[in-house]
């Protein structure tokens, strides 16, 4: 006899486990933070809360494996510009002025809310004032891998002290929702000495290292001029890469780069919408998958996307590679849904707790409402999630065993207040822009 805190019944369940099992008219039992029952036989149980998932799809929460959550305040502030114009004349000056602990407190709350509303239950963040983002995750109930962005070249961008960062790592060392990480921005913006110190710290504390690699062709050229090597070859030459490396973007990799990343066990994250919008290029995802690399997906920051909807990333990934390879069978719906869930958990090193629906894992679950014209009729749930759905179809979100969102309403979070707060920040940003960024 079970004592479920939550019972989900009548569910079409896509587990996303290693054999990609799925079930019809099935049950999930949750006790405290974990899944304790999953199957088609009705469990003998007393249940505090019952969710009837008839006509819904139940699947693991999506994993946004790369974003900059604090950038919601800059969403759409500047678009359709060349990358250098965008960075030099808009993003960097705005970050210099508006990235404060107070603003990040608001901006990261908005990002977390937006991600939950579109089915993300874990995100991997690269930004500043990580402490407040972590507190927001704890208060709202979001799972995250968080680290303070580190840049020391050509200028040192420091929003917090080294102590802030070390204290953060200690504070969240054994947290149930937060995994601390180390986040050097990229091989071109961190000195070799800094990268080596980061690697040492990551080895000592067994922390994941989250880094942009080979996002643009200019970056590859820059590193080649400096070192004679590609960014991946260079990082490998200083023994930087291992199975805790989260290598983000990887738009411009050589075959040798892919082989090195595979050999070192590094995880890959691609952000196709951002890569298109910023004209960075298109990563060779099918080739990476063929080589046995684990490739996950991320939205990138909301200034370069401009939303945090993982459904869009999955849909774009599977479609774009069909056309570029002149082969509509080269990727499929199941494969890309796995990239958005289990591959994310693997790349972030948390596949023991999330990424699939399995007994013993934490209950990170999303329920998608398919009683909508664009999801009707349904022949194949994998197809619908990949090709027809969007983030607005997510109805209910459970993270770490707690119901956070129900019928698209937050149970314990004041969304209207945060939207009002961010509008106040944007008013200041508009004034600043109108005054010529002075």
Residues 294-323 within binding reach of a copy of itself (CB under 8 A): 305-309, 312, 315-316, 318-320, 322-323
Site string for a copy of itself, 186-225 (x = CB under 8 A): -------------------------------x--------
Does position 10 interact with a copy of itself (CB under 8 A)? The reply is: no
275: CB partners within 8 A, 6+ apart: 215, 249, 251, 281, 282, 283
- Integer angstrom CA distances of residue 291 from 12, 257, 285, 287: 32, 11, 10, 6
User: How far, in Å, CA of 372 to CA of 232, rounded?
Assistant: 45
User: How far, in Å, CA of 56 to CA of 226, rounded?
Assistant: 54
Assess contact for 134 and 172: CB atoms under 8 A: yes
Residues 123-162 within binding reach of a copy of itself (CB under 8 A): none
Handedness of CA 296, 300, 304, 310 (dihedral sign): positive
Does position 87 interact with a copy of itself (CB under 8 A)? The reply is: no
Q: Which of 88, 243, 328, 352 binds a copy of itself (CB under 8 A)?
A: 328
Q: Which of 63, 113, 195, 241 binds a copy of itself (CB under 8 A)?
A: 113
Q: What per-residue string of b and e applies to 171-183 under the rule 16 or more CB within 10 Å gives b?
A: ebeeeebbbbbbb
Handedness of CA 103, 104, 107, 109 (dihedral sign): negative
Residues 392-421 within binding reach of a copy of itself (CB under 8 A): 392-393, 415, 418-419
In the complex, least distance from residue 386 CB atom to a copy of itself, rounded to whole angstroms: 8
46: CB partners within 8 A, 6+ apart: 1, 2, 3, 4
Phi, psi of 378 (to 5 degrees): -120, 120
In the complex, least distance from residue 324 CB atom to a copy of itself, rounded to whole angstroms: 8
CB nearer to a copy of itself: give 164 or 410: 410
Q: What is the CA radius of gyration of the chain?
A: 21
Give the interface segment with a copy of itself, choosing from 38-46, 106-114, 220-228, 231-239 (CB under 8 A).
106-114
- 93: enclosing H helix or E strand: helix 92-98
> For the chain, how long is the longest CA-to-CA vector?
67
Q: Which of 390, 402, 406, 432 binds a copy of itself (CB under 8 A)?
A: 390
User: How far, in Å, CA of 385 to CA of 394, rounded?
Assistant: 10
CB nearer to a copy of itself: give 154 or 377: 377
Phi, psi of 355 (to 5 degrees): 100, -20
Residues 11-40 within binding reach of a copy of itself (CB under 8 A): none
Give the interface segment with a copy of itself, choosing from 8-16, 32-40, 143-151, 377-385 (CB under 8 A).
377-385
User: How far, in Å, CA of 62 to CA of 342, rounded?
Assistant: 9
Q: Which of 77, 266, 357, 405 binds a copy of itself (CB under 8 A)?
A: 77
Does position 110 interact with a copy of itself (CB under 8 A)? The reply is: yes
In the complex, least distance from residue 362 CB atom to a copy of itself, rounded to whole angstroms: 24
In the complex, least distance from residue 182 CB atom to a copy of itself, rounded to whole angstroms: 29
Q: Which of 6, 30, 278, 405 binds a copy of itself (CB under 8 A)?
A: 278
Does position 376 interact with a copy of itself (CB under 8 A)? The reply is: yes
Q: Which of 46, 154, 292, 326 binds a copy of itself (CB under 8 A)?
A: 326
Assess contact for 187 and 213: CB atoms under 8 A: yes
CB nearer to a copy of itself: give 110 or 178: 110
Size of the site for a copy of itself (CB under 8 A): 75
Does position 176 interact with a copy of itself (CB under 8 A)? The reply is: no
Tokens of 182: 């180390």
User: How far, in Å, CA of 423 to CA of 427, rounded?
Assistant: 6
Q: Which of 204, 279, 434, 436 binds a copy of itself (CB under 8 A)?
A: 279
Q: What angle do CA 355, 407, 48 make, to 5 degrees?
A: 75
Assess contact for 200 and 175: CB atoms under 8 A: no
Does position 371 interact with a copy of itself (CB under 8 A)? The reply is: yes
Residues 237-276 within binding reach of a copy of itself (CB under 8 A): 273, 275-276
Does position 332 interact with a copy of itself (CB under 8 A)? The reply is: yes
Does position 422 interact with a copy of itself (CB under 8 A)? The reply is: yes
CB nearer to a copy of itself: give 269 or 370: 370
CB nearer to a copy of itself: give 75 or 361: 75
């Amino acid at each position: 006899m079970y004592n479920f805190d939550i019972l989900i019944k009548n569910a079409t369940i896509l587990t996303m486990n290693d054999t990609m099992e799925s079930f019809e008219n099935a049950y999930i039992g949750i006790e405290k933070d974990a899944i304790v029952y999953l199957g088609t036989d009705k469990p003998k149980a007393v249940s505090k809360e019952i969710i009837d998932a008839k006509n819904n799809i139940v699947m693991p929460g999506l994993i946004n494996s790369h974003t900059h959550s604090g950038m919601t305040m800059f969403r759409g502030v500047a678009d359709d510009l060349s990358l250098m114009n965008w960075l030099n004349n808009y993003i960097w000056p705005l970050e210099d002025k508006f990235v404060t602990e107070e603003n990040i407190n608001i901006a990261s709350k908005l990002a977390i809310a937006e991600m939950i509303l579109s089915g993300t239950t874990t995100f991997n963040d690269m930004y500043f004032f990580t402490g407040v983002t972590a507190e927001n995750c704890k208060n709202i109930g979001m799972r995250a891998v968080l680290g303070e962005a580190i840049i020391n070249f050509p200028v040192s961008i420091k929003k917090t002290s080294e102590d802030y960062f070390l204290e953060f790592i200690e504070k969240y060392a054994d947290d149930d929702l937060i995994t601390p990480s180390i986040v050097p921005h990229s091989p071109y913006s961190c000195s070799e000495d800094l990268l080596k110190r980061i690697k040492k710290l990551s080895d000592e504390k067994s922390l994941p290292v989250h880094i942009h690699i080979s996002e643009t062709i200019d970056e590859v050229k820059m590193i080649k001029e400096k070192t004679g090597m590609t960014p991946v070859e260079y990082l490998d030459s200083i023994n930087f890469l291992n199975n805790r490396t989260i290598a983000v973007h990887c738009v411009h990799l050589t075959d040798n780069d892919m082989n090195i990343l595979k050999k070192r066990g590094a995880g890959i994250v691609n952000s196709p919408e951002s890569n298109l919008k910023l004209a960075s290029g298109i990563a060779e995802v099918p080739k990476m998958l063929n080589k046995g690399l684990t490739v996950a997906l991320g939205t990138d920051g909301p200034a370069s996307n401009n939303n945090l909807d993982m459904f869009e990333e999955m849909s774009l990934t599977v479609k774009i590679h069909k056309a570029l390879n002149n082969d509509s069978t080269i990727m499929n719906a199941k494969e890309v849904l796995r990239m958005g869930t289990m591959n994310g958990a693997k790349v972030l090193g948390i596949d023991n707790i999330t990424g699939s629906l399995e007994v013993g894992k934490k209950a990170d679950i999303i329920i998608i409402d398919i009683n909508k014209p664009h999801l009707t009729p349904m022949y194949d749930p994998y197809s619908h999630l990949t090709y027809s759905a969007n983030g607005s179809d997510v109805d209910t979100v459970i993270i770490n065993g707690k119901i956070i969102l129900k019928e698209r309403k937050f149970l314990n979070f004041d969304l209207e207040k945060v939207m009002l707060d961010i509008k106040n920040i944007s008013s200041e940003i508009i004034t600043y822009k109108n005054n010529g960024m002075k």
